[in-house]
Amino acid sequence: MLPVLLRKGESSTPTHEEILLLTTDGKETCENTLSRAPKQKACVEALLNGELLLTQAKKQFGSAAVKALIEKALAHVVEQVPVFEEARWVSTFNIAEKPVPDTEQSVAIAALNRQHSQFVVSLLEGVTGSGKTEVYLQAIEPLLEQGKQILILVPEIGLTPQTVARFERRFNIDVGVLHSQLSDKARLQVWQRAQAGELGIVIGTRSAIFTPLKNPGMLIVDEEHDESFKQQDGLRYHARDLATMRAKLHNIPLLLGSATPALETLNNALSGRFSHLQLTKRAGGAQSTYQHVLDARDQPIHYGIAQGMLTIMRQHINAGNQVLVFVNRRGYAPALLCHHCGETVMCKRCDKPYTVHKSLNRLQCHHCSGTRAMPSHCEACHSNELVTAGTGTEQVEQGLSSLFPGVKQVRIDSDSVRGKDKLHQTLDAINRQEYQLLVGTQILSKGHHFPHVTLVVVLDVDGALFSADFRAPEKLAQLVTQLAGRAGRATKPGEMWLQTHNPHHPLLQDLVNNGYRHFARHALIERKAAGLPPFISQFVIRAESTDSRLAFGFLKATKDVFEQQHAIDIHGPFPCLIEKRQGRFRFMLVCSHEKRGPLHNALRLTLPFLQALPQALKVRWAVDIDPTDFS
Ligand code: ADP
Ligand code: ZN
Ligand code: ZN
């Protein structure tokens, strides 16, 4: 929960900071000397108005420019003990020009303004592009003016420089940013400044929920349905749930925003536990995307794409528009098998097929990340006829270049865009229309808007329709809806096609014809009938070991302890959806009860007994409260 440097003993109050100052030479530089170095010139001009934090100067003008000024002895760095000032931002606070909220936005903003200084959780359910961020901006305005701090959580991939800039520009204040790629030092600084009350706004990913605030005013969780808010290992927590607890402790409002709220959240809103605010129209007149199902049965399939789909794609490409193709797997193909005997090449540590990565000319296991060279023949029968099965992004990319020769194409997945900068550069290039065909994974569904995309293609939705995970339909519906929301604008309405071999599946039909709002409400009725969360509470105990009997035995003993002492429902032990990973066999026990209180009580009372079980030290085990994923 603490920044690394604090755990290593660094003080929680700052001891020194580096500031950048002009030297005497620097103060006297005339304009012309730096005319060929505009960044250095801008930095000098800023420094003439006063010193800057070194980190701030580097961020604003680039490290190269700062370094050059220091080398030319025009600027120098000194260390000083920083003085933090509570609510310092109020002195520069200034509200930039802003759009007039529409009726629904006004209703939401007014409702939020009535909730200051009390614990209320609100769900802002607004279709993508309906102006949720605009509501956040206007709702926090009066709080910032009073010197209160705002903490905003966003999904890992949704934290773009544009998001941060939007908040900085609107209020002319410095925004503290926290994400996983920050240096330890930078992370500590934001933590210290937030704790001292100096930062008005802190925006961060999951773990930013632990940022201390001197004068908390409001917490916001944007895209609250996003799976990245749940930490699945080490300290397991859901940032949204912790946000609820924090808001309650501070007695302040919590705002949850999403176009596709998690069923848990939606249920709380519909049952009246949360306040429910809705935005049903896209802001600024942008049109919504029409959704359709493409029946792939009996059609020729090229590189995973049905003939009929290719025809539609061609129309959009010929019209000069962008087409986005979503594929749920990276790599070339999810398996390599022998054409002669059918043997699949498996990762021995996970008992799962290797994914073929042609660009690396290697096989990679997506469960343990282990890789191996591409085999030349089958290990079972020595045949050299090895064929791939299934389709990943690499293969679709390759296929599309032969199907649409000359059409500029880009692939966006975690193999092709490593690091945030590369991703943002690629996304900018897309919006400059340097590419016409975009192929990619989940990354495309989060946060970014593609105004020139008029067609979104989703290949293979069938996997999710038949998954063993009861949340798979919810996740598919969120993905499809988020993807649809990426496309289209006022002058160019978009369309979306879902390729399937089950065109009449009720879930697809409901989603396509009635949208997420309807789908989600219907899915809640089904969950209730089936006795599944959020209508019951759950926790899972997972155990893993290289010896499958040990892991299984531990959970069997655990089950016995529970059954002797408590009336809760226990299922298992059964293998996790990923039965084996990195050489360890994995099992789980699913425990549930209608009410959270008795369930947690049972767990609290039983834990000491579990810790005392003879197998407890021999297997790796962990409790996961409100599990969201059964892998
Ligand atoms: P969301 O957060 O729901 O995706 P945004 O707040 O980013 O939506 O709004 C989408 C776009 O519409 C942005 O470009 C925003 O500036 C614009 N917008 C939002 N509200 C209004 C409004 N009331 N009038 C005009 N434009 C608006
Ligand atoms: Zn073989
Ligand atoms: Zn593996």
Ligand 1 close to Cβ of residue 125 (< 6 A) = no
**Cα(427)–Cα(450) distance, rounded to whole angstroms?**
9
Ligand 1 close to Cβ of residue 197 (< 6 A) = no
**Cα(262)–Cα(246) distance, rounded to whole angstroms?**
20
Ligand 1 close to Cβ of residue 133 (< 6 A) = yes
Split at pLDDT 50, 70, 90, the class of 444 is confident
Indicate the angle between helix axes 596-611 and 548-565, nearest 10 degrees.
Answer: 130
Q: What per-residue confidence (pLDDT) applies to 524? A: 96
Mean per-residue pLDDT for 593-602? 94
Listed range (8-22, 395-409, 432-446) with the worst mean pLDDT: 8-22
Ligand 1 close to Cβ of residue 257 (< 6 A) = no
Ligand 1 close to Cβ of residue 126 (< 6 A) = yes
Phi and psi, residue 615, nearest 5°: -80, -15
User: What residue's CA is closest to ligand 1, atom 9?
Assistant: 131
Asked whether the CA dihedral 121, 155, 369, 473 is positive or negative, the reply is: positive
User: What residue's CA is closest to ligand 1, atom 8?
Assistant: 131
340 near 441, Cβ under 8 Å? no
Could you say which ligand is closest to the alpha carbon of residue 355?
3
566 near 628, Cβ under 8 Å? no
Residue located via tokens 């946000």:
243
Ligand 1 close to Cβ of residue 128 (< 6 A) = yes
Indicate the angle between helix axes 506-530 and 472-486, nearest 10 degrees.
Answer: 140
Q: Residue 334 C-alpha to ligand 1 middle, in angstroms?
A: 39
Split at pLDDT 50, 70, 90, the class of 446 is confident
Atom of ligand 1 nearest to the CA of 105: 23
Which three-class secondary structure string do you get for 521-550? HHHHHHHHHHCCCCCCEEEEEEEEECCHHH
Instruction: Give the rounded percent of residues in the chain with a pLDDT score beyond 90.
Output: 62
Give me 245's structure tokens.
């607890």
Same fold for the pair 88-284 and 286-333+390-526 = yes
Atom of ligand 1 nearest to the CA of 101: 23
Ligand 1 close to Cβ of residue 132 (< 6 A) = yes
Atom of ligand 1 nearest to the CA of 127: 3
Could you say which ligand is closest to the alpha carbon of residue 341?
2
Record: fold of 88-284: Rossmann fold (3.40.50)
CATH 3.30.70.600 matches 537-625: yes
**Cα(268)–Cα(417) distance, rounded to whole angstroms?**
38
**Count, residues in the chain:** 631
pLDDT tens digits for range 386-438: 999 888 999 999 999 999 999 999 998 888 777 767 888 888 898 899 999 99
Could you say which ligand is closest to the alpha carbon of residue 351?
3
User: What residue's CA is closest to ligand 1, atom 10?
Assistant: 129
Substitution site in 103, 104, 134, 255 for ligand 1 pocket (most atoms within 8 Å of beta carbon): 134
Q: Residue 387 C-alpha to ligand 2 middle, in angstroms?
A: 11
Q: What per-residue confidence (pLDDT) applies to 269? A: 97
Residue located via tokens 């580096």:
18
β-pairing verdict for 201-204 and 216-222: unpaired
Ligand 1 close to Cβ of residue 283 (< 6 A) = yes
Q: What per-residue confidence (pLDDT) applies to 214? A: 96
Phi and psi, residue 412, nearest 5°: -125, 100
Indicate the angle between helix axes 132-145 and 103-113, nearest 10 degrees.
Answer: 30
Residue located via tokens 């429902």:
569
Q: What per-residue confidence (pLDDT) applies to 85? A: 81
Q: The domain 286-333+390-526 is classified under which CATH number: 3.30.1490.100, 2.30.42.10, 3.40.50.300, 3.40.190.80?
A: 3.40.50.300
pLDDT tens digits for range 244-274: 999 999 999 999 999 999 999 999 999 999 9
* Domain positions in the chain: 17-80, 88-284, 286-333+390-526, 537-625
User: What residue's CA is closest to ligand 1, atom 6?
Assistant: 131
